[in-house]
Structures are given as structure tokens and as C-alpha cells.
Amino acid sequence: MAASVHGGRIGNLPAEANAFIGRRLELAEISGLLGTERLVTLTGPGGVGKSRLALRAAHAAKDEFPGGAWLVELSELRDADLLANAVAQATRLTEQTLRPLLDAVCEHLAGAPLLLLLDTCEHVLDECARVVQELLAHVPELHVLATSRQPLGVPGEHLLAVAPLPLGEHDDAVALFAARAAAAVPSFTLTEANRAHVAAVCARLDGMPLALELAAVRLRGFPLDRLLEGLDSRFDLLVSPARPRLARHQTLRTAIGWSHELCTPLERLLWARLSVFAGGWDVEAAEFVCHGGPLDAEEILALLASLTEKSITTRDGEGAAVRYRMLDTVRSFGAEWLTGLGEEEAVGRRHREYFRWVARQGEAEWLGPGQRMWAERLTAEHANLRVSIEASLAAEEPETALELTGSLWYFWFACGFAEEGRGYLERALRRAPEGGGPEHSRAVWAHRLVTVVPDDLEAAESVSAAYVWLAEERRLPVSALPLTGASLAVRGESARSAVLYGTTAGRSPAGDGGAEFHHLLTLALQAYLLASQAAFERCAVVAERLRADCARRGELWMRAWGDFFIALAGIGLGRAEEALGPAREALAAKVRVHDRLGAAAVADLLVAAQAAHGEEELAARLLGVSRNLWHSAGLPQLGDPSSTVFHREYERRLRALLGEAPFAEAVREGGELGTDAAIALALGGVSGPMGL
């Protein structure tokens, strides 16, 4: 007989305790899956909201199941052999029989279509898989919605990974926190004044619904700013008041500890050691940093796969690009265990050693065919590089700090992190011992390379102003050359260029990679100075040589400056149409290696090229794009028309050509584009994520 009506309704779903917030896309996806798939499993880490999402989805779908929607809560089940009993009890099977209970359950559930919600399967996973497989085989009308920290592994299972809530100031995490805070403290209201603080709390808690609900209740005893400060000790702060709540949800520590108990000893050890990483890691890094003692490097890949199945780590990418990461809350739990094991110092040292090797290897291969790979790899490892540098500085390891910061000159200079690199280099040099040495010399050289001082900006402005005057005097095209960005980007002021050339015999303290860079930079400086003197034919010759030398090395970043100066020369010679191709090639290359500063300078060039080509409206849009790129490069003054000769001049000319309102609208449209759309516009309509 089919499962019976209970209490005047079909099924046993409990009423929801409070309003459900967000998850519209996930609910729609689950609704669609329940109509086509017989087993849907929601996976994700503890506290991410799998149970609540499944319950909401079951309530929404129950009208589609005449046989009822039935919840089987498994979190308190300790004996896996009693799982069939739990299903029988939840679905109101009262028959006493000597035959196998699962057979009786199958007969009991047969008949009208029904939905079985199995909540919290991970600790009885094998038995869950067996029972579900039997039920699906013998009850054709049955659909199962399960929640688990790892898949059941049953044939036909459809997995849906539940992620934390989105974290923007107007997204679901903030909405959930605000709703629960208002319930706990009726005087609480989300306002523009406190929205940023609420968003910061949500970000610190990774958008994890359980953590957000626990934090919201704490507003009864803490003002919002104190709550944010207290999240440094989140496991102690986020304790639920005594009220009916599943034991595993009483505190954040208990919720994550539940996952910890499900791990093997080696998985727990790896979890603890992985906590030294920030922002993710790849397999090679995990093998180097986390091996030792009972944990062999050869075992780590399989253990990572197991931790990923158990929702402790997440996996992104394919092939060589595969990376793993942990939510910060999960990482913090692992860090506590690492400290308790007494391994914090040793594993941290291996982390620094690994990323010191990464920095050196990247330097050796930067000016070659692997440049794009290294730009992407170091951008992905940016958080780990920061952790390594900070730890070296804190651990009084001046040589390691000098080597790390100095070896990364190419990353600081070429990938848009000059300001950050300058700060780290200054701190490392202050801690360096007297007397210097190779690492000290390289760090000094790198510091000079990435340092931009007010004199540099004034020099850049004076060159641009001189060219604007030259363009007026010689009646050159409307496009006064955008040398502000170029001069700053290639550091062309002759009075200071000697500091970039390194030591005697033309060799840089940065070693072979630095010496090659010195040669290529010299060509770029020559092209710049020739362009600033309006010697455009000679500028193009030098730029072609720069392009050729880079092409032989398979190098992208400096080659893009060759394209830049070829385009610049084309505009100066009145051949704007010819300038568009190399300018776009330069921009595409700068984007590929994440060079924000270079991309901003090339965007200026494209403003000039499009204006000279008669595309005034597009040029105005690109002016808005250019300003945003200068801001993202960390030099917003070079996108400010009130202080920059180039932007001031183009604002005047394009405003005159287009008219006040059309000009303002075009600049606004360009300025409101997202990064990918802005780059696509500048590249002439190319679409897809560019990753700047």
C-alpha cells in the first residue's frame, strides 16, 4: 500500500521555522531535476545550507508527488544498520513482519509518485547508497532528494554542489544576515550606513548560512563593529544560545568538527597542513608543502580527491590548471589543528621554501614562451606569495624576504602590482643586514624599477604637454600622442633611466633574466624618446627591432610595447588605420599577462587612434574605459581629465566634435562597462573573459 496521509496532509515535512532567503537559481534547478532525475544529491561543506535548501525544495515540489514528500532525518542515526528502520518510521510504516524490513518499505512506498528526502547521509554513506539503490530499483514511482557532504555513489545519481551565498552588498548573504538580525534584535535595520559592515561580516564568514545565522544572534550582546572584530576568534564567538537546534549546528566549531570526524587520520593531517595555503593551491604545491612523516607525497593526490568528495576542499579547472581551495572557515579550523599538532612552524617554512622556488623559476622563464603561463600562475598564487613574504618578514628571515621580493620584480612591474611590490621591497631592505650581497643588490634594483615618485609623474606630464604643443604647431592629427601613459609605463625619463640599467658590463643585478629585460627595455626607451621628438620613422624602426627580439624569445609583454610604439608612430605619421591593428595586439597581450598599467596606456593610444580615424563617439567611450583602467592600475590621477594633459586635451576636442550631451553619454557608457566588456570594446568587439 502507498504511504499514508498523516495529520490531514500527505508527507511529514516540518514547517519552516522562518523565511527562506535567496537561492532562487538553485531552487529552480532542483525543481527541474526532480522532474527528470530519480536521485538528486545536494553536496557541500557543513553549514552551507544543504538541509534548509532541500527542505524548501521539497515543500515547493510536494504538490507534484501525490504519494507525499517525506523527510528522513539521519543526523542522529549512529548505527547504519538501522537506516531502513529510520525510513520505515519516517514514512509511517507500522506493519510488523518477519520478512526483511527493506522489502516491506519498498511495498509500503509503491503506488503514487512520492519524494523521499534523506537528510545528512555522509556518516552512514555506504548503507545509504545500498538502501537508496534498492528503493529505486523496486519503487519505480520514487524520487530521492539527498543531502550529504560527499556523493552517495549510486548509479544514476545527479549531483548539485551547494555553494555559499553570494557576498555582494546587495546579495543573498547580506539579506540573510539582515533578516536573522532583525529577528534577534527587533531594532536592527539594514541601512546604507551599516551595509558595508554587514557585508564585511558576511565576507569574513564566507557567506556560510549557518555562520551568518549564528553571528546575527550575537548582535544581542555585541554591536556590529565589535562583532566584526570578534570574528578573528569565530569558533568561540559563534555559539548558539540554548534552543532547539540539531547538535551538529549548535556551534560553528561543532558543525565543521562533524566533517572532521568523518575523515581518516591522514585526511585530517592533510587538512591541517593545507591550512597554510591562502587562495588555493595546485597538486605540486600540496605535495611539496604537506608531505612528511606518515604522509607520503605520492598519497596526496588521492587524499585531495577524498577531501574534495567530502566537501572539505573544492576543485576548479582541468588538466594542468587544476587548483584546490578551502573556505576560510574550514581553513581556520585546520589551522587550529595544525597548531595543536605542533607543526605550524615546519609546514610554514616549507610553504616559504616552495614559493621562493616558484619566484626564482618564474624569473628565469619570464622573458620567453612561458610568459603568459607565469603571469597566470603568479596571479593565481598572489595570496600565497603575500603569505610567504609576510611570514619571512615576521620570522626574521631577511635573506628569504629579499630573495622573494627581489625575484618577483617581473611580477610587480609587469603584472600591475608595482605599489605592492614597492612596499614589500622597502620592508625587506629595511630588515636587511649591512654589507649587501647579490640578493640585496637585486632587491635594490627591483625597488628602483617599480618606484614611481612625483618627479616621474611630472616628467611624464611635461613630455605629454610638449607633444600637445608640438601637435598644435605642426598641425598634426587630432590625436595628440598619449605619452603620459607610455612614459610612465616604460620609465622613459632620461634623467632617471640609468637606475634601471643595473651594474657594470650591461648586466642587471637580476641575473640573466634581468639582463635580457635591460636590453629590451633599452629599445623601448629609445622608441619612446624618438616618438617624443616626433621622429616617427626612426621610432618605428626601433620598435620593429624590439618586436623581433621579443618574438625570438617567444616573449609577449615587452613585444606589446613594440606594437604600442609602432601604432604610436603610425598615428604620428597620419596613418591611423594602420595603427589600429598593432594597438589592439598590444592591448590583447597586456591583458593576457595581467599588465594593468600597460593596458591603461594602450587604451589611451586607442582613444587617439579611433579619434584620428574619425570614430569620435567610439573614442569617447574608450576615454571612459581608459579612465577606469588607470584607476584599476592604481594610478587614478592618469585617468582624471582635470589633472592629465592627454585626457584634458581629448575631452576638449571630442566634446567639441560630438557636442556636450553625446560626449558625456559616450564617456559614461564606456566608464560603466565591466572589465571584460571594456576590453572587448577596445579590441573591436572580441568577446569572452579576458582575465585582466
Per residue in 153-197, pLDDT tens?
999 999 999 999 998 878 899 999 999 999 888 999 999 999 999
**d(C-alpha 216, C-alpha 382), whole Å:** 32
Q: How far is CA 667 from CA 299, 576, 641, 642, in A?
A: 56, 21, 12, 15
**d(C-alpha 231, C-alpha 79), whole Å:** 36
Which H or E element spans position 161?
strand 158-161
Q: Is residue 689 part of a domain?
A: no
Is pLDDT of 645 > 70?
A: no
Task: For residue 2, name the pLDDT band (cuts at 50, 70, 90).
Answer: very low
- Compute the C-alpha angle 519/524/529, nearest 5°: 125
Which H or E element spans position 144?
strand 142-148
248 with 289, same domain: the answer is no
Q: Is residue 690 part of a domain?
A: no
Identify whether the C-beta of residue 413 lies closer than 8 Å to the C-beta of residue 524: no
Helix, strand, or coil (residue 11): strand
467 with 430, same domain: the answer is no
Task: For residue 236, name the pLDDT band (cuts at 50, 70, 90).
Answer: low
Per-residue pLDDT of 348-370, as tens digits, reads 999 999 999 999 999 989 888 98
Q: Give residue 476's identity as a one-letter amino acid code.
A: L
**d(C-alpha 579, C-alpha 565), whole Å:** 9
Per-residue pLDDT of 663-685, as tens digits, reads 999 999 998 888 888 888 888 85
Query: Over the chain, what is the mean pLDDT?
Result: 82
Please give the residue that has the higher pLDDT: either 458 or 497.
458
Q: Give residue 64's identity as a one-letter amino acid code.
A: E
Q: Is residue 259 part of a domain?
A: no
666 with 556, same domain: the answer is yes
Is pLDDT of 496 > 70?
A: no
Q: Is residue 655 part of a domain?
A: yes
Identify whether the C-beta of residue 246 lies closer than 8 Å to the C-beta of residue 267: no
Phi, psi values for residue 641, rounded to 5°: -65, -20
CB count within 10 Å of CB 564 equals 34
pLDDT of residue 439: 84
512 with 539, same domain: the answer is yes
**d(C-alpha 626, C-alpha 598), whole Å:** 11
Q: Which domain holds residue 103?
A: 5-161
How far does CA 554 lie from the centroid of its chain?
Answer: 28
Q: Is residue 692 part of a domain?
A: no
pLDDT of residue 27: 95
How far does CA 484 lie from the centroid of its chain?
Answer: 31
With a CB cutoff of 8 Å and minimum separation 6, the contacts of 413 are 421, 446, 449, 450
**Within 13 A of 342's CA, how many CA atoms are on the CB side?**
0
Q: How many domains does the chain have?
A: 4
Instruction: Burial-class residue 80 by CB neighbours within 10 Å (0-12, 13-18, 19+).
Output: middle
Q: Whole-prediction pTM value? A: 0.70
pLDDT of residue 483: 53
Please give the residue that has the higher pLDDT: either 140 or 512.
140
207 with 234, same domain: the answer is yes
pLDDT of residue 435: 67
Residue 462 cell numbers, joined: 611635461
Residue 70 β-bridge partners: 116
30 with 73, same domain: the answer is yes
Rg of the chain (C-alpha set): 31
510 with 396, same domain: the answer is no
Best CA proximity match to 374, nearest among 595, 615, 200, 141? 595
Least confident interval from 169-183, 243-257, 318-332, 509-523: 243-257
Per-range mean pLDDT, top range of 77-86, 348-357, 551-560: 348-357
Residue 206 cell numbers, joined: 564566507
* Three-state SS annotation for 411-448: HHHHCCCHHHHHHHHHHHHHHCCCCCCHHHHHHHHHHH
Domain boundary among 130, 161, 192: 161
Per-residue pLDDT of 461-473, as tens digits, reads 555 555 455 455 5
Domain boundary among 387, 421, 449: 449
Domain boundary among 142, 161, 180: 161
**d(C-alpha 387, C-alpha 377), whole Å:** 16
Per-residue pLDDT of 561-606, as tens digits, reads 999 999 988 888 888 888 899 999 999 999 888 888 888 889 988 9
CATH of the domain at 41: 3.40.50.300
350 with 284, same domain: the answer is yes
331 with 412, same domain: the answer is yes
Q: Is residue 687 part of a domain?
A: no
Phi, psi values for residue 497, rounded to 5°: -65, -25
145 with 293, same domain: the answer is no
554 with 613, same domain: the answer is yes
- Compute the C-alpha angle 592/594/598, nearest 5°: 100
Q: Is residue 688 part of a domain?
A: no
Best CA proximity match to 484, nearest among 663, 613, 649? 649
**d(C-alpha 52, C-alpha 21), whole Å:** 10
DSSP 162-230: PPPPP-STTSHHHHHHHHHHHHHSTT----TTTHHHHHHHHHHTTT-HHHHHHHHHGGGTS-HHHHHHH
445 with 460, same domain: the answer is no
